[in-house]
Amino acid sequence: MVLMRCARMLFDVSLNRDVVTWNAVLNGYVKCGDVGSAKKLFDEMPERNAVSWSVMINGYVKVGCFKEALEIFNEMQRSGVRPNHAGIVGALSACGSLGALDQGKWIHAYVDRSKMELDTVLGTALIDMYAKCGSVEAACRVFEDMSRRDVYAFTSLISGLSNHGDSVMAVELLKRMGDEGIKPNEVTFICILSACARVGLVDEGLRVFESMNDVYGIKPEVEHYGCLVDLLGRAGLLEQAKDVVRDMPMEPDIYVLGALLNACRVHGDADLGNEMVEGLVSRSLDHSGVHVLLSNIYASANQWDRVERVRKGMVEKDVKKVPGCSLIKEGNVEKE
DNA sequence: CTAGGGTTAG
Protein backbone atom coordinates (compact mmCIF):
# COMPACT_ATOMS: atom_id res chain seq x y z
CA MET A 1 0.00 0.00 0.00
CA VAL A 2 2.68 2.47 1.10
CA LEU A 3 5.02 1.20 -1.60
CA MET A 4 2.28 1.72 -4.14
CA ARG A 5 1.88 5.35 -3.12
CA CYS A 6 5.64 5.89 -3.54
CA ALA A 7 5.54 4.26 -6.96
CA ARG A 8 2.67 6.51 -7.97
CA MET A 9 4.57 9.63 -6.84
CA LEU A 10 7.62 8.61 -8.83
CA PHE A 11 5.39 7.97 -11.80
CA ASP A 12 3.70 11.35 -11.51
CA VAL A 13 7.00 13.27 -11.61
CA SER A 14 8.68 11.19 -14.28
CA LEU A 15 8.94 12.78 -17.73
CA ASN A 16 9.28 9.68 -19.81
CA ARG A 17 5.93 7.96 -19.51
CA ASP A 18 5.22 5.32 -22.12
CA VAL A 19 2.46 2.70 -22.13
CA VAL A 20 4.72 0.17 -20.45
CA THR A 21 5.22 2.51 -17.49
CA TRP A 22 1.50 3.29 -17.26
CA ASN A 23 0.77 -0.43 -17.31
CA ALA A 24 3.28 -1.10 -14.54
CA VAL A 25 1.50 1.39 -12.25
CA LEU A 26 -1.88 -0.01 -13.31
CA ASN A 27 -0.70 -3.47 -12.44
CA GLY A 28 0.60 -2.22 -9.10
CA TYR A 29 -2.88 -1.05 -8.10
CA VAL A 30 -4.43 -4.33 -9.22
CA LYS A 31 -1.87 -6.32 -7.23
CA CYS A 32 -2.89 -4.33 -4.15
CA GLY A 33 -6.52 -5.17 -4.87
CA ASP A 34 -7.32 -1.49 -5.47
CA VAL A 35 -9.28 -1.75 -8.73
CA GLY A 36 -10.95 1.59 -8.05
CA SER A 37 -7.65 3.46 -8.36
CA ALA A 38 -6.68 1.25 -11.27
CA LYS A 39 -9.85 2.16 -13.15
CA LYS A 40 -9.26 5.86 -12.49
CA LEU A 41 -5.75 5.61 -13.89
CA PHE A 42 -6.99 3.48 -16.78
CA ASP A 43 -9.47 6.21 -17.76
CA GLU A 44 -6.68 8.80 -17.71
CA MET A 45 -4.32 6.81 -19.92
CA PRO A 46 -3.53 8.55 -23.20
CA GLU A 47 -2.86 5.23 -24.87
CA ARG A 48 -3.91 1.68 -24.00
CA ASN A 49 -2.69 -1.57 -25.43
CA ALA A 50 -3.76 -5.19 -24.98
CA VAL A 51 -1.85 -5.45 -21.70
CA SER A 52 -3.63 -2.42 -20.21
CA TRP A 53 -7.00 -4.01 -20.99
CA SER A 54 -6.01 -7.43 -19.72
CA VAL A 55 -4.74 -5.96 -16.44
CA MET A 56 -8.12 -4.30 -15.91
CA ILE A 57 -10.05 -7.45 -16.81
CA ASN A 58 -8.05 -9.61 -14.46
CA GLY A 59 -8.17 -6.92 -11.78
CA TYR A 60 -11.97 -7.09 -11.76
CA VAL A 61 -11.88 -10.90 -11.80
CA LYS A 62 -9.55 -10.90 -8.81
CA VAL A 63 -12.00 -8.92 -6.66
CA GLY A 64 -15.02 -10.87 -7.86
CA CYS A 65 -16.53 -8.17 -10.11
CA PHE A 66 -17.18 -10.51 -13.02
CA LYS A 67 -19.78 -8.41 -14.78
CA GLU A 68 -17.42 -5.44 -14.81
CA ALA A 69 -14.67 -7.70 -16.16
CA LEU A 70 -16.86 -8.73 -19.09
CA GLU A 71 -17.90 -5.12 -19.69
CA ILE A 72 -14.25 -4.15 -19.98
CA PHE A 73 -13.67 -7.09 -22.33
CA ASN A 74 -16.55 -5.99 -24.56
CA GLU A 75 -15.38 -2.39 -24.50
CA MET A 76 -11.97 -3.61 -25.59
CA GLN A 77 -13.55 -5.35 -28.58
CA ARG A 78 -15.34 -2.14 -29.55
CA SER A 79 -12.16 -0.11 -29.27
CA GLY A 80 -10.52 -2.41 -31.80
CA VAL A 81 -7.66 -3.70 -29.64
CA ARG A 82 -7.05 -7.42 -30.15
CA PRO A 83 -7.16 -9.29 -26.83
CA ASN A 84 -4.05 -11.20 -25.76
CA HIS A 85 -3.98 -14.56 -23.98
CA ALA A 86 -4.22 -12.97 -20.53
CA GLY A 87 -7.28 -10.92 -21.47
CA ILE A 88 -9.01 -13.95 -22.96
CA VAL A 89 -8.20 -16.06 -19.90
CA GLY A 90 -9.57 -13.40 -17.57
CA ALA A 91 -12.77 -13.04 -19.58
CA LEU A 92 -13.25 -16.82 -19.63
CA SER A 93 -12.82 -16.97 -15.89
CA ALA A 94 -15.51 -14.28 -15.51
CA CYS A 95 -17.83 -16.28 -17.81
CA GLY A 96 -17.33 -19.37 -15.67
CA SER A 97 -18.16 -17.55 -12.46
CA LEU A 98 -21.27 -16.00 -14.00
CA GLY A 99 -22.36 -19.14 -15.81
CA ALA A 100 -22.30 -17.11 -19.02
CA LEU A 101 -22.07 -20.00 -21.46
CA ASP A 102 -22.98 -18.06 -24.62
CA GLN A 103 -20.35 -15.41 -24.03
CA GLY A 104 -17.82 -18.14 -23.21
CA LYS A 105 -18.64 -20.02 -26.40
CA TRP A 106 -18.20 -16.83 -28.39
CA ILE A 107 -14.74 -16.33 -26.86
CA HIS A 108 -13.86 -19.95 -27.67
CA ALA A 109 -14.87 -19.36 -31.30
CA TYR A 110 -12.80 -16.19 -31.32
CA VAL A 111 -9.77 -18.15 -30.06
CA ASP A 112 -10.21 -20.66 -32.92
CA ARG A 113 -10.86 -17.99 -35.53
CA SER A 114 -7.81 -15.93 -34.65
CA LYS A 115 -5.65 -19.10 -34.50
CA MET A 116 -4.48 -18.39 -30.96
CA GLU A 117 -2.36 -21.21 -29.65
CA LEU A 118 -4.24 -23.48 -27.24
CA ASP A 119 -1.54 -23.56 -24.58
CA THR A 120 -2.04 -25.13 -21.15
CA VAL A 121 -3.20 -21.89 -19.54
CA LEU A 122 -5.75 -21.01 -22.21
CA GLY A 123 -6.89 -24.63 -22.42
CA THR A 124 -7.41 -24.77 -18.65
CA ALA A 125 -9.37 -21.54 -18.72
CA LEU A 126 -11.67 -23.01 -21.39
CA ILE A 127 -12.09 -26.31 -19.52
CA ASP A 128 -12.93 -24.43 -16.35
CA MET A 129 -15.39 -22.14 -18.12
CA TYR A 130 -17.28 -25.00 -19.78
CA ALA A 131 -17.33 -27.10 -16.61
CA LYS A 132 -18.65 -24.22 -14.49
CA CYS A 133 -21.27 -23.41 -17.13
CA GLY A 134 -22.51 -27.00 -16.96
CA SER A 135 -21.08 -28.28 -20.22
CA VAL A 136 -18.69 -31.04 -19.14
CA GLU A 137 -18.76 -32.58 -22.63
CA ALA A 138 -17.33 -29.40 -24.13
CA ALA A 139 -14.76 -29.29 -21.32
CA CYS A 140 -13.67 -32.84 -22.22
CA ARG A 141 -13.39 -31.90 -25.90
CA VAL A 142 -11.10 -28.97 -25.14
CA PHE A 143 -9.04 -31.23 -22.88
CA GLU A 144 -8.52 -33.71 -25.74
CA ASP A 145 -7.77 -30.91 -28.23
CA MET A 146 -4.84 -29.66 -26.19
CA SER A 147 -1.47 -30.78 -27.47
CA ARG A 148 -0.02 -30.81 -23.96
CA ARG A 149 -1.79 -31.15 -20.62
CA ASP A 150 -0.36 -30.17 -17.26
CA VAL A 151 -1.53 -30.64 -13.67
CA TYR A 152 -3.80 -27.56 -13.88
CA ALA A 153 -5.63 -28.89 -16.93
CA PHE A 154 -6.12 -32.30 -15.33
CA THR A 155 -7.24 -30.85 -12.00
CA SER A 156 -9.67 -28.50 -13.66
CA LEU A 157 -11.36 -31.32 -15.58
CA ILE A 158 -11.35 -33.58 -12.52
CA SER A 159 -13.08 -30.84 -10.55
CA GLY A 160 -15.63 -30.37 -13.34
CA LEU A 161 -16.39 -34.08 -13.56
CA SER A 162 -16.71 -34.25 -9.79
CA ASN A 163 -19.17 -31.36 -9.65
CA HIS A 164 -21.32 -33.11 -12.24
CA GLY A 165 -21.34 -36.39 -10.37
CA ASP A 166 -19.02 -38.28 -12.71
CA SER A 167 -16.67 -39.40 -9.97
CA VAL A 168 -15.64 -42.63 -11.67
CA MET A 169 -14.27 -40.64 -14.61
CA ALA A 170 -12.56 -38.28 -12.16
CA VAL A 171 -10.69 -41.16 -10.52
CA GLU A 172 -9.82 -42.57 -13.93
CA LEU A 173 -8.23 -39.25 -14.85
CA LEU A 174 -5.89 -39.62 -11.88
CA LYS A 175 -4.65 -42.87 -13.42
CA ARG A 176 -4.33 -41.22 -16.82
CA MET A 177 -2.17 -38.50 -15.27
CA GLY A 178 0.32 -41.22 -14.41
CA ASP A 179 0.28 -42.48 -18.01
CA GLU A 180 1.03 -39.01 -19.30
CA GLY A 181 3.74 -38.45 -16.73
CA ILE A 182 1.95 -35.61 -14.92
CA LYS A 183 2.27 -35.54 -11.14
CA PRO A 184 -0.90 -34.65 -9.23
CA ASN A 185 -0.60 -31.99 -6.54
CA GLU A 186 -2.42 -31.25 -3.29
CA VAL A 187 -5.28 -29.51 -5.11
CA THR A 188 -5.78 -32.52 -7.38
CA PHE A 189 -6.27 -34.72 -4.35
CA ILE A 190 -8.82 -32.39 -2.80
CA CYS A 191 -10.84 -32.67 -6.02
CA ILE A 192 -10.51 -36.47 -6.26
CA LEU A 193 -11.37 -37.06 -2.61
CA SER A 194 -14.41 -34.81 -2.74
CA ALA A 195 -15.48 -36.57 -5.95
CA CYS A 196 -15.40 -39.88 -4.08
CA ALA A 197 -17.23 -38.41 -1.06
CA ARG A 198 -19.99 -37.02 -3.25
CA VAL A 199 -21.07 -40.38 -4.63
CA GLY A 200 -20.02 -42.64 -1.77
CA LEU A 201 -16.96 -44.27 -3.34
CA VAL A 202 -15.60 -45.04 0.12
CA ASP A 203 -13.04 -47.76 -0.66
CA GLU A 204 -11.76 -45.93 -3.70
CA GLY A 205 -11.46 -42.71 -1.69
CA LEU A 206 -9.58 -44.45 1.13
CA ARG A 207 -7.18 -45.97 -1.40
CA VAL A 208 -6.57 -42.57 -2.98
CA PHE A 209 -5.94 -41.02 0.44
CA GLU A 210 -3.40 -43.72 1.28
CA SER A 211 -1.72 -43.34 -2.09
CA MET A 212 -1.11 -39.63 -1.56
CA ASN A 213 1.86 -40.26 0.69
CA ASP A 214 2.75 -43.81 -0.35
CA VAL A 215 2.73 -43.34 -4.12
CA TYR A 216 2.98 -39.61 -4.75
CA GLY A 217 4.92 -38.43 -1.71
CA ILE A 218 2.40 -35.74 -0.82
CA LYS A 219 1.69 -35.31 2.89
CA PRO A 220 -2.06 -34.95 3.48
CA GLU A 221 -2.89 -31.51 4.90
CA VAL A 222 -5.86 -30.52 7.03
CA GLU A 223 -7.95 -29.97 3.87
CA HIS A 224 -7.43 -33.59 2.86
CA TYR A 225 -8.46 -34.79 6.28
CA GLY A 226 -11.57 -32.68 5.87
CA CYS A 227 -12.36 -34.56 2.65
CA LEU A 228 -11.66 -37.88 4.36
CA VAL A 229 -14.02 -37.10 7.25
CA ASP A 230 -16.62 -36.02 4.71
CA LEU A 231 -16.12 -39.25 2.75
CA LEU A 232 -16.68 -41.44 5.82
CA GLY A 233 -19.33 -39.24 7.38
CA ARG A 234 -21.57 -39.05 4.33
CA ALA A 235 -21.40 -42.82 4.03
CA GLY A 236 -22.69 -43.07 7.61
CA LEU A 237 -19.40 -44.39 9.02
CA LEU A 238 -19.53 -41.97 11.95
CA GLU A 239 -17.26 -43.97 14.24
CA GLN A 240 -14.52 -44.17 11.64
CA ALA A 241 -14.91 -40.46 10.87
CA LYS A 242 -14.56 -39.68 14.58
CA ASP A 243 -11.42 -41.83 14.75
CA VAL A 244 -9.89 -39.86 11.89
CA VAL A 245 -10.55 -36.57 13.66
CA ARG A 246 -9.03 -37.93 16.89
CA ASP A 247 -5.94 -39.43 15.25
CA MET A 248 -5.09 -36.82 12.62
CA PRO A 249 -1.63 -35.30 13.05
CA MET A 250 -2.84 -31.71 13.26
CA GLU A 251 -5.64 -29.79 14.97
CA PRO A 252 -8.93 -30.23 13.09
CA ASP A 253 -10.08 -26.97 11.59
CA ILE A 254 -13.60 -25.67 11.27
CA TYR A 255 -14.16 -27.54 7.99
CA VAL A 256 -13.12 -30.91 9.37
CA LEU A 257 -15.48 -30.46 12.31
CA GLY A 258 -18.14 -29.08 10.01
CA ALA A 259 -17.93 -32.24 7.89
CA LEU A 260 -18.36 -34.36 11.02
CA LEU A 261 -21.25 -32.24 12.28
CA ASN A 262 -22.91 -32.46 8.90
CA ALA A 263 -22.61 -36.24 9.05
CA CYS A 264 -24.27 -36.16 12.48
CA ARG A 265 -27.14 -34.17 10.99
CA VAL A 266 -27.63 -36.44 7.99
CA HIS A 267 -27.43 -39.61 10.04
CA GLY A 268 -29.35 -38.22 12.99
CA ASP A 269 -26.73 -38.62 15.73
CA ALA A 270 -27.60 -35.67 17.93
CA ASP A 271 -25.53 -36.93 20.86
CA LEU A 272 -22.28 -37.05 18.93
CA GLY A 273 -23.08 -33.57 17.58
CA ASN A 274 -23.59 -32.29 21.08
CA GLU A 275 -20.39 -33.92 22.33
CA MET A 276 -18.47 -32.30 19.50
CA VAL A 277 -19.79 -28.82 20.06
CA GLU A 278 -18.80 -29.00 23.70
CA GLY A 279 -15.34 -29.93 22.49
CA LEU A 280 -15.42 -26.99 20.12
CA VAL A 281 -16.32 -24.53 22.82
CA SER A 282 -13.61 -25.87 25.14
CA ARG A 283 -11.04 -25.33 22.39
CA SER A 284 -12.56 -21.91 21.70
CA LEU A 285 -13.14 -22.77 18.07
CA ASP A 286 -16.18 -20.86 16.97
CA HIS A 287 -18.13 -20.35 13.81
CA SER A 288 -21.73 -19.41 13.15
CA GLY A 289 -21.92 -22.25 10.60
CA VAL A 290 -21.34 -24.73 13.43
CA HIS A 291 -24.32 -23.34 15.30
CA VAL A 292 -26.52 -23.59 12.22
CA LEU A 293 -25.50 -27.21 11.75
CA LEU A 294 -25.99 -28.00 15.40
CA SER A 295 -29.48 -26.54 15.45
CA ASN A 296 -30.31 -28.58 12.34
CA ILE A 297 -29.06 -31.72 14.10
CA TYR A 298 -31.36 -31.09 17.05
CA ALA A 299 -34.24 -30.26 14.74
CA SER A 300 -33.78 -33.57 12.91
CA ALA A 301 -33.91 -35.33 16.26
CA ASN A 302 -37.00 -33.33 17.33
CA GLN A 303 -35.13 -31.78 20.25
CA TRP A 304 -36.64 -28.31 20.00
CA ASP A 305 -35.63 -27.11 23.45
CA ARG A 306 -32.00 -27.63 22.43
CA VAL A 307 -32.56 -25.83 19.12
CA GLU A 308 -33.80 -22.86 21.10
CA ARG A 309 -30.74 -22.91 23.36
CA VAL A 310 -28.39 -22.93 20.36
CA ARG A 311 -30.29 -20.02 18.85
CA LYS A 312 -29.81 -17.96 22.02
CA GLY A 313 -26.14 -18.88 22.32
CA MET A 314 -25.59 -17.95 18.70
CA VAL A 315 -26.97 -14.47 19.14
CA GLU A 316 -24.72 -13.82 22.13
CA LYS A 317 -21.62 -15.14 20.42
CA ASP A 318 -22.24 -13.27 17.18
CA VAL A 319 -22.38 -10.02 19.08
CA LYS A 320 -19.07 -10.83 20.78
CA LYS A 321 -17.52 -11.93 17.52
CA VAL A 322 -17.96 -8.75 15.52
CA PRO A 323 -15.00 -6.70 16.84
CA GLY A 324 -12.69 -9.73 16.64
CA CYS A 325 -13.55 -10.32 12.99
CA SER A 326 -12.92 -6.77 11.92
CA LEU A 327 -9.58 -6.77 13.74
CA ILE A 328 -8.42 -9.84 11.86
CA LYS A 329 -9.49 -8.39 8.53
CA GLU A 330 -7.72 -5.09 9.12
CA GLY A 331 -4.58 -6.94 10.18
CA ASN A 332 -4.47 -8.78 6.86
CA VAL A 333 -4.90 -5.66 4.79
CA GLU A 334 -2.24 -3.78 6.73
CA LYS A 335 0.37 -6.45 5.91
CA GLU A 336 0.44 -5.37 2.26
C1' DC B 1 11.85 -12.56 -24.78
C1' DT B 2 8.38 -7.77 -22.31
C1' DA B 3 3.77 -4.97 -18.41
C1' DG B 4 -0.51 -9.55 -18.31
C1' DG B 5 -3.05 -15.26 -17.66
C1' DG B 6 -5.23 -21.16 -15.46
C1' DT B 7 -6.94 -25.84 -10.86
C1' DT B 8 -9.35 -26.01 -4.52
C1' DA B 9 -13.30 -29.07 -0.11
C1' DG B 10 -17.37 -26.61 2.90
pLDDT digit string, tens, across residues A11-56: 666 666 789 999 999 999 999 989 999 999 999 999 999 999 999 9
A239 CA to B9 C1' in angstroms comes to 21
Positions 230-269 in A, CB within 7 angstroms of strand B? 230, 255, 258-259, 262
Positions 19-58 in A, CB within 7 angstroms of strand B? 19-20, 23-24, 27, 49-51, 54-55, 58
Q: Write down the pLDDT at residue A231.
A: 97
Cβ atoms within 10 Å, residue A219: 9
A98 CA to B6 C1' in angstroms comes to 17
Q: What is the mean pLDDT of each run of 10 residues along chain A (336 residues)?
A: 67 73 94 93 94 96 96 95 96 97 96 94 97 97 94 97 96 95 96 96 97 96 96 95 94 88 82 71 58 65 66 49 28 32
A58 CA to B4 C1' in angstroms comes to 8
Q: How far apart are CA A276 and CA A313, in angstroms?
A: 16
A152 touches strand B (CB under 7 A): yes
What are the CA-CA distances from residue A4 to residues A14, A28, A60, A86, A314 (Å)?
A: 15, 7, 18, 23, 41
The nucleotide whose C1' lies nearest the CA of A22 is B3
What are the CA-CA distances from residue A112 to residues A84, A126, A171, A291 (Å)?
A: 13, 12, 30, 50
Q: Write down the pLDDT at residue A332.
A: 33
Q: Write down the pLDDT at residue A275.
A: 72
DSSP label at A285?
A: -
Q: Write down the pLDDT at residue A324.
A: 29
pTM recorded for the entire structure? 0.84
Residue-wise over A97-108: b if at least 16 C-beta within 10 A, else e?
Answer: bbebbebbbebb
Q: Write down the pLDDT at residue A211.
A: 96
Q: Write down the pLDDT at residue A272.
A: 75
Contacts of A158 (CB under 8 A, 6+ apart): A170, A173, A174, A188, A191, A192, A195
Positions 176-215 in A, CB within 7 angstroms of strand B? 185, 187-188, 190-191, 194, 197-198
A313 CA to B8 C1' in angstroms comes to 32
Q: Write down the pLDDT at residue A228.
A: 97
Cβ atoms within 10 Å, residue A134: 14
A153 phi and psi angles, rounded to 5 deg: -60, -45
Residue nearest to nucleotide B5 (CA to C1'): A86
pLDDT digits (tens, 9 = 90+) for A259-299: 998 898 888 777 777 777 666 666 655 555 566 666 666 66
Which sign, positive or negative, has the C-alpha torsion A276, A278, A279, A283?
positive
